[in-house]
Chains A and B, each alone.
Chain A
């Protein structure tokens, strides 16, 4: 599936806690928890990878089918966009 480029919000602070990634949106004061795959996706975006590159990296790192990963990432990106944590960019 095609992955659009994503811009991370400058208002978000990420912190790994016990293998999970917690996000704090400084603008709204709300918190989000990401599982291992979601947290790694965020980390890869932070490191400068595009969403498509991050998807390919995840496919190499996790024991998951491409279809399942694409479906999960589509849901995750939708939630992140809806919450204002990322924008298309």
Chain B
């Protein structure tokens, strides 16, 4: 990332005069992040965490944590929200997705928060498939398709996934949010960029067994658009380029809806099924 991150002292957040140009919310409608235009770029407010003042000309991000915010949360927010937005502005495509490499080709799992992206990536990594990222999948466009850029960061899991996948190897802390975890030594990270061969959209859980179905282009586009990062929706040239890039992604990479029982007891079966599906795509390519 070619922006410099500058840490300011924690400060009580002041009201922001400029109306937000866009707002991120949870599925329940709760505001999590607001994006306010500023003379030099944007002020991004991550609620209960930090303000990030982005200066495009100076290529700096000044991070002012809210009082009593733990540094880990500030760091995670920057890595998983702010940095992808800046990458997107520089022309890369970043998906709200986790990813692993299977037989030297990347597959991504995208969708809303808490649909199982990190859990699937960790489960597949535990099965021997190198982890590309557990969030913020960076896709670099080439002439014939996309390449996934690995992001070597500690994985983050919710406590129930952590316990089911990793036993008691990580910190036994009571919490209801994700935390970075220590990994078993046999989990490997993908070191080099790998061609992207498929994307799976994690649907709202409803299935009693593994269900994978190819999405039509319009349905794929609709889901991709909602799960890609885009900082400035007022910048028409960038919006046009972003639209074109997502369309190219929908054209060149098969995109599937994926549903499976959210039952840790069946996770190994799900991992086997996804692995077999990816290999079948490889055989057909």
Contacts and interface: CB of A to CB of B under 8 A. Distances in A.
Contacts of B225: 31
A59 interface: no
Interface string A12-27: 0101011110101010
Interface residues of B, number: 17
B175 interface: no
B243 A15 contact: yes
Interface stretch (B60-68, B196-204, B214-222): B214-222
B280 interface: no
A13 B240 contact: yes
Contacts of B103: none
B239 A24 contact: yes
Interface residues of A, number: 12
B221 A22 contact: yes
B239 A17 contact: no
A18 B239 contact: no
Contacts of B251: 17-18
A88 B222 CA distance: 28
A31 B236 contact: no
A24 B240 contact: yes
A15 B241 CA distance: 12
Ranked 8 nearest A-B pairs via Cβ: A18-B217, A33-B218, A29-B233, A17-B217, A24-B243, A20-B218, A26-B236, A15-B247
Interface of A: 13, 15, 17-20, 22, 24, 26, 29, 31, 33
